[in-house]
Amino acid sequence: MAKRVSEPTTKVVGPLRRVDQRDELHTQAAMGGLGKQVQERWTAESVDPFRRIFYPEFRAQNSPVRSWRAVSDGPLNPKRTEVRNPQRMSEIIKGVAEFLGADLVGICQLNQAWVFTHRGLRIDHHKGVAGEPINIKHKYAISVAVQMEHENYRNSPSFIDNASTGKGYLEAAKVVVSLAAWIREIGWSAKSHFLIDEEVIHIPIAVEAGIGELARNGNLITRRYGPRIRLGTVTTDLPLALDGPIDVGVQAMCTDCNKCAINCPAQCISYGEKVIENNVEKWALDNKKCMQYWTANRDRFNDCSRCFTSCVWNLPDTWWAQIITWGIPRWHWWRKGFLWMDNWIRGVKPNLHQEWLYYKVPGDRKGWTLPDVIE
Ligand code: SF4
Ligand code: SF4
């Protein structure tokens, strides 16, 4: 069991400024805010068919996640189920979410600091709704995580880990859209938030809901799946009991380790101490350099997850991994020993050979994506 704590391990030291979604770097990259070259590459059609099915950028009807947008919110069943026991309701909601495909579920109050001020996804720009104010009055947030394949997360960046990332977004969308619909069908307001229809920031909500902790690499690390998860959120007024944030030793581990910083090809992860940004104490990350790197070689990758794959916490979901992560928050010598062992077994710069379907990484240039002819 993860240790519950009264405050998130990422400290907030003053009032938080809400974020305008139009300033998000994914949108900026697509709309030209990071320069013409990045924009051209970012918006070019990928050579990888998985990219084309997981992100609705060109032939949207070939991208299942696109259809979830139409049902991300919906009508209420007028016959409301009365909730006299929020604790029991929370147990049921977690059971429903797991049945629908969630691997981790946590509940917190919806902190308005994590609600964007204005819409600004790329799709919002295309639909002419970018800049519309966002106003979510829901009281609670349900944070959902789905795991991604460990085998595909052994090397990055490549189309192999990219495929699992895209599938993770799709799976997370499926769970939160269905969960929000289930809540509306018992008569309570609920809205799902996912890749192409989100009005909240998932990671700090997941921290407050006790799914995991914010790490040096800017990702959420969970005890069981490390950083290898994708998040979705449901906001709702359904009366629920809250989970607290957790301390599974991520801050302590990241203080002793900087493997993701060593491995980041764009060198945008801090090696040093935490800094204060928007009154949040966290490790600095040059997100702009990160986004620029994603477009560096469109023949080989669409995005990068090297800070996931190289992370010492990127362990398979096994009993021995559970023992390792159990010891991390407890003893400094254990963390040092684990880091030494990871460096010895996987190497300081892990780069495991992968073959999957028609991909080979590393391999000759013909091995990076689908060949023109299948022989
Ligand atoms: S995604 Fe890649 S480029 Fe960006 S921070 Fe992680 S390792 Fe660095
Ligand atoms: S590689 Fe090390 S420093 Fe980076 S996120 Fe993982 S545990 Fe933290």
Our mutation pick for probing the ligand 2 site, out of 253, 263, 349, counting the most ligand atoms within 8 A of Cβ, is: 253
Cβ–ligand 2 distance for 312 under 6 Å, the answer: yes
- Taking the centre of ligand 2 as the mean of its atom positions, its distance from the CA of residue 182, in whole angstroms, is 37
Q: Which residues on adjacent β-strands are paired with residue 221? A: 213
Q: Given a cut of 90, is residue 298 above it in pLDDT?
A: no
- Taking the centre of ligand 2 as the mean of its atom positions, its distance from the CA of residue 268, in whole angstroms, is 14
- Assessment of whether the complete model's pTM goes beyond 0.75: yes
Q: Given a cut of 60, is residue 43 above it in pLDDT?
A: yes
Q: Over the stretch 240-297, which tens digit does the pLDDT of each residue have?
A: 999 999 999 999 999 999 999 999 999 999 999 999 999 999 999 999 999 999 988 8
- Taking the centre of ligand 1 as the mean of its atom positions, its distance from the CA of residue 289, in whole angstroms, is 9
Contact 245, 332 (CB under 8 A): no
Our mutation pick for probing the ligand 1 site, out of 269, 302, 306, counting the most ligand atoms within 8 A of Cβ, is: 306
**Which residues 6+ apart lie within 8 Å of 138 measured at CB?**
110, 189, 190, 191, 235, 236, 237
CA distance 119 to 214: 25
The DSSP line for 267-292 is --B-SS--EEETTEEE--B-HHHHHH
Q: Ligand 1, atom 4: nearest CA belongs to which residue?
A: 290
Q: Over the stretch 306-357, which tens digit does the pLDDT of each residue have?
A: 999 999 999 999 999 999 999 999 999 999 999 999 999 999 998 777 788 8
CA distance 156 to 164: 11
Q: Pull the structure tokens for residue 260.
A: 């993701």
**Mean local confidence (pLDDT), 101-127:** 95
Q: Over the stretch 216-244, which tens digit does the pLDDT of each residue have?
A: 999 999 999 999 999 999 999 999 999 99
Q: What percent of the chain has pLDDT over 70?
A: 98
In which element (H, E) is residue 109 found? strand 104-109
Cβ–ligand 2 distance for 313 under 6 Å, the answer: yes
Give me the residue spans of the domains in the chain.
Answer: 3-250
Q: Which residue in the block uniquely carries the two structure tokens 């809250």?
A: 242
Q: Pull the structure tokens for residue 126.
A: 């295309």
**Which residues 6+ apart lie within 8 Å of 118 measured at CB?**
20, 21, 22, 130, 131, 132, 133, 134
Pick the atom of ligand 2 nearest to 259's CA: 1
The DSSP line for 62-101 is G-HHHHHGGGSS-PPPSSPPP-S-HHHHHHHHHHHHHHHT
Q: Over the stretch 20-42, which tens digit does the pLDDT of each residue have?
A: 999 999 889 888 888 898 899 88
Q: Given a cut of 60, is residue 365 above it in pLDDT?
A: no
CA distance 203 to 145: 10
> Which residues have C-beta atoms less than 6 Å from ligand 1?
217, 264-266, 268-269, 290, 293, 304-307
Q: Ligand 1, atom 2: nearest CA belongs to which residue?
A: 304
Cβ–ligand 2 distance for 217 under 6 Å, the answer: yes
Q: How confident is the model at residue 364, as a pLDDT?
A: 59
- Burial state string for 81-95 with b = 16 or more CB within 10 A and e = fewer than 16: eebeebeebbebbbe
- Taking the centre of ligand 1 as the mean of its atom positions, its distance from the CA of residue 108, in whole angstroms, is 29
